[in-house]
Amino acid sequence: DTAVSQTPKYLVTQMGNDKSIKCEQNLGHDTMYWYKQDSKKFLKIMFSYNNKELIINETVPNRFSPKSPDKAHLNLHINSLELGDSAVYFCASSQDWRATDTQYFGPGTRLTVL
């Protein structure tokens, strides 16, 4: 059983399109995250949800909109895709919102914007 799963694994699309990435965790965790990893492997947090409530919203363009329908799911919708959005997007989860809590990462979604 995969603890944190993401779909799709690869996403290739044209500039200007709208796309979504889905994430599910079966660990019973309260907190979920979205991270962006650029081509140089630099990893930065984008959003965090705790019990379906947004608790971290970094300086991310408002073209990015996370949605958490329940504690086990956190989806990421991106409007009007730009070339600079090309990256690997990781979902993660942890038992609670404290940074000391171990985060479990999904396998990533590689987004390529042409």
Residues of the shown chain interacting with other proteins in the complex, contacts defined by CB under 8 A: 4, 40-45, 48, 55-56, 90, 92, 97-100, 102-108
In the complex, minimum distance from the CB of residue 41 to other proteins, in angstroms, rounded to a whole number: 4
In the complex, minimum distance from the CB of residue 21 to other proteins, in angstroms, rounded to a whole number: 13
Nearest one of 38, 29, 113, 42 to 74, comparing CA atoms = 29
Task: For other proteins, give the closer residue by CB, 68 or 103.
Answer: 103
Q: Tokens representing 24?
A: 């599910």
Residues 6+ apart with CB under 8 A from 41: none
Task: For other proteins, give the closer residue by CB, 18 or 53.
Answer: 53
Task: For other proteins, give the closer residue by CB, 38 or 82.
Answer: 38
Task: Tell me the C-alpha distance between 97 and 114, whole Å.
Answer: 36
Strand partners, 56: 48
In the complex, minimum distance from the CB of residue 55 to other proteins, in angstroms, rounded to a whole number: 5
Task: For other proteins, give the closer residue by CB, 15 or 43.
Answer: 43
Nearest one of 74, 95, 105, 97 to 3, comparing CA atoms = 105
Q: Tokens representing 60?
A: 């991310």
In the complex, minimum distance from the CB of residue 85 to other proteins, in angstroms, rounded to a whole number: 19
